[in-house]
Amino acid sequence: MMLIFVGLGLCSHKGLPLRGLELARDSDWVYMEHYTSLLPELDLRELEGWVGKPVKVVDRQTLEENPEEILERARKGKVVLLVPGDSMVATTHVDLRLRAEKRGIPTLVVPSSSILSAAPGLTGLQSYKFGRSATIPFRDHPSTVPYDTLVENSARGLHTLLLLDLRAEEGRYMTAGEGMEIMLELEARMGKGVFTPETLV
């Protein structure tokens, strides 16, 4: 009886850590979601080859509104849920973990690479010098939070990691260009001079 959350890391199934691979091989059922983040190079057949058993892909609705099958199976055996990035960054998984624990099902979390630590490393910036991060939401859910965060961090001389909104179920992934346009619109409205065409991004 166990529900194990395993991070798949970035880009593809190949961010899966050895520990997660061993747990998946040793489990009774393997599930995966890839709607909380984009895995552009995911190869499901190859992943199943590594794991040695079928991997059942679940969508947002199943995972958030109807996770009964997963929880019931976790009550009887060992279930692994593969998720993009680090396994506990998205609130969905925190919620599912809490549901499992409330039913007395033990849970285990296997971390993997996350954009939160990879972005500083890949850009060559010091992770110590990052302030709070924020997400740029699509225009139909406007928010000043990414701009406010940038104002706050800039005043302290800190870098800001701005994440891009996505709605996998609608096939929508914000591009960096779109994110920058939204930030420029916020700049035009808020006028604190923290995001201009001269800003280094």
Binding residues vs a second copy (CB under 8 A): 7, 9-10, 12-19, 21-22, 50, 86-89, 91, 94, 109, 111-114, 116-118, 120-122, 124, 126-135, 152, 156, 158
Least distance in Å: CB of 31 to a second copy?
Answer: 18
Q: How far is the CB of 28 from a second copy (least distance, A)?
A: 21
For a second copy, the closer CB: 69 or 113: 113
**Residues 6+ away with beta carbon under 8 Å from 176:** 164, 201
**HEC profile of 135-159:** EECCCCCCCCHHHHHHHHHHHCCCE
Q: Give the nearest distance from C-beta 197 to a second copy in angstroms.
A: 27
Alpha helices for 52-114 (secondary structure H): 60-65, 68-76, 91-102
Provide the residue type at 166 as one letter.
L
Element (H, E) at 80: strand 78-83
Query: Which residue, 69 or 154, is less far from a second copy as judged by CB?
Result: 154
Please report how close the Cβ of residue 76 comes to a second copy at its closest, in angstroms.
26
CB neighbour class for 24 (10 Å; exposed up to 12, middle 13-18, buried from 19): buried
The nearest distance, CB 171 to a second copy, in angstroms, is 25
Closest approach, Cβ 149 to a second copy, in A, equals: 9
Based on CB atoms, which residue is closest to a second copy, 14 or 60?
Answer: 14
Per DSSP, 113 falls in state -
Looking at beta carbons only, is 52 or 196 nearer to a second copy? Answer: 52
Interatomic CA distance for residues 195 and 147, integer angstroms:
8
Residues 6+ apart with CB under 8 A from 13: 39, 42, 43, 44, 46, 47, 50, 82
Nearer to a second copy, 9 or 179 (CB): 9
Q: Which is nearer to a second copy, 25 or 76 (CB)?
A: 25
